[in-house]
Structure 1
Amino acid sequence: MNLDFSQIAPSIPYILQGIGVTLKIVGVAAIIGFVIGILLALCKIGRFKGLKWFADIYTSIFRGTPLILQLLLIYYGTPQLFDIKVTAYTAAVLAFGFNSGAYISEIIRAGILAVDKGQLEASMALGIPYKKMMMDIVLPQALKNILPALMNEFITLTKESAIVTVIGVTDIMRRSYIVGGNTYRYFESLIFAGVIYYLMVIVLTLIGKAVEWRMRRSD
């Protein structure tokens, strides 16, 4: 096997700089997705059919089409339709945020429905407003139950962020590809990128387990 990782050694710091780019995209997209997910989940369990239909259609579209298609439509389609230039970073954040929101909404909806109905009935009997009941009673309990699923979504988002390389974002994958082209050592540089993603997932998994353990301990 003709492997020589020493050829890419001088470029390792350059590839590692992509970690910050990746985490920045994933972090902002996760926040957007979480906010959208909560709003969609509330629409799905609400009484207004129009909002419920909107949430269901939104989820169906973003879960039923490839993420890379959504990314390309935002990056290339927005300037064409609205004459607004969208940077690669903005397109990545919006695409991942909108897509993640669809999946998170289903996770949160399931978590809300899993909360004991007796607590909802008791809250209504006490005259607690719906908004306050959801924010102070229902959602905190739901989040404890769905934390593993949310962390899994965050990990998936981290791995899928590699597709931003198609629009030129210099993340981990893009930088490793550039290094491979400069050194003619694609296998070594891509394997190194794979190791980085794997270690990131391991760290996120450990963080998720630590948070879950702490939340369960506080019960």
Structure 2
Amino acid sequence: MNQWSEAFHYLPLLLKGAMVTLEITLLANILSTIISFAVGLLRLSKRRYVRLIASIYVEVFRGTSLLVQLFWLYFALPMLLNIQITAMVVAVLALGLNYGAYGSEVVRSSILAVPKGQHEAATALNMGSKLRMMRIVLPQAIPLMLPSFGNLQIELLKGTSLVYLITLSDLTYQGMVLRTFDSSKTAEIFMMMLILYFLLSYSFTLLLRVLERRSARGRY
């Protein structure tokens, strides 16, 4: 018990790291959602070259390691373009691009899951493609997307644990520093990290459930 009371002195630093983790997660989620819808819609384009470009992006980011993507954006890209990119920007970009590739498939498959009769009825009402998508297709597709998007958000949160390797002082970084400083409290430090990660992910789960209930009632 005494070991735990001593380990609790490290909690403020872990909470500081958790706030950085939460900031990265929220920003990367916004970016990945935008990319998911943009690329998902592009993959449904009637133009073959547009579908090809979108598909290449998806396959590249789904087929390569997130860690390698982080390192490439942080170390290689600045050298190639002769620019300086902050670690925070790199983390948000890498996570957003990576999970946006996965999310685009969720968007594409959910739109395709809307019955063809709905498309035909909208066409019969002389609706243009954009109006048909906004008024008919997306309101039915979004509820189908939510469970998968929720899983991706939680996976993205867990993926942020890699950003400490590019010097960001997130929750994992703080835990590793504290463990190096006081290795006798390794078990307690990692247990507190597990609890904080769980609380963050469970918060996203609760938010998702609220959104699912609202979408079921036709409110977004």
TM class, shorter-chain normalised? Answer: over 0.9
Q: Which amino acid aligns with 1:204?
A: F
The more displaced of 125-134 and 101-110 is 125-134
Is 1:150 the counterpart of 2:154? The answer is: no
Distance (whole Å) between structure 1 residues aligned to residue 53 and residue 115 of structure 2 = 27
| 1:182-193 correspondence to structure 2 within 5 Å | 182-184=181-183, 185-193=185-193
Match of 1:214 in 2: 214
Q: Identity rate of aligned residues, in percent? A: 35
Question: Conserved in 2, the CA contact under 8 Å of 1:18 and 1:171?
Answer: yes
The more displaced of 9-18 and 61-70 is 9-18
Match of 1:98 in 2: 97
What RMSD in Å do the two structures reach over aligned CA positions?
Answer: 1.6
Residues 35-58 of structure 1 deviation map (CA, whole Å, 9 limit, x = unaligned): 111111111111000010011111
Structure 1 residue 210: deviation in Å?
Answer: 2.2
Runs of 5+ consecutive residues of structure 2 not aligned to the other structure: none
Is 1:22 the counterpart of 2:21? The answer is: yes
Structure 1 residue 3: deviation in Å?
Answer: 9.1
Q: Which amino acid aligns with 1:216?
A: A
Q: Which amino acid aligns with 1:16?
A: L
**1:4 alignment partner, SS class:** helix
Q: Which amino acid aligns with 2:190?
A: L
Q: Which amino acid aligns with 2:84?
A: K
Question: Conserved in 2, the CA contact under 8 Å of 1:8 and 1:183?
Answer: no
Structure 1 pair 25–128 and aligned structure 2 pair: CA distance change class (3 A): same
Match of 1:108 in 2: 107
Distance (whole Å) between structure 1 residues aligned to residue 32 and residue 206 of structure 2 = 22
Match of 2:198 in 1: 198
Question: Structure 2-normalised TM-score?
Answer: 0.94
Distance (whole Å) between structure 1 residues aligned to residue 2 and residue 62 of structure 2 = 40
Match of 1:160 in 2: 159
Work out the number of aligned pairs and report it.
218
Distance (whole Å) between structure 1 residues aligned to residue 98 and residue 160 of structure 2 = 12
Q: Which amino acid aligns with 2:195?
A: V
Distance (whole Å) between structure 2 residues aligned to residue 50 and residue 34 of structure 1 = 23
Distance (whole Å) between structure 2 residues aligned to residue 157 and residue 208 of structure 1 = 14
Structure 1 residue 24: deviation in Å?
Answer: 1.1
The more displaced of 33-42 and 178-187 is 178-187
Structure 1 residue 7: deviation in Å?
Answer: 3.0
Q: Which amino acid aligns with 1:215?
A: S
**1:106 alignment partner, SS class:** helix
Match of 1:43 in 2: 42
Runs of 5+ consecutive residues of structure 1 not aligned to the other structure: none
Is 1:176 the counterpart of 2:175? The answer is: yes
**2:83 alignment partner, SS class:** coil
Question: Conserved in 2, the CA contact under 8 Å of 1:3 and 1:188?
Answer: no
Question: Structure 1-normalised TM-score?
Answer: 0.94
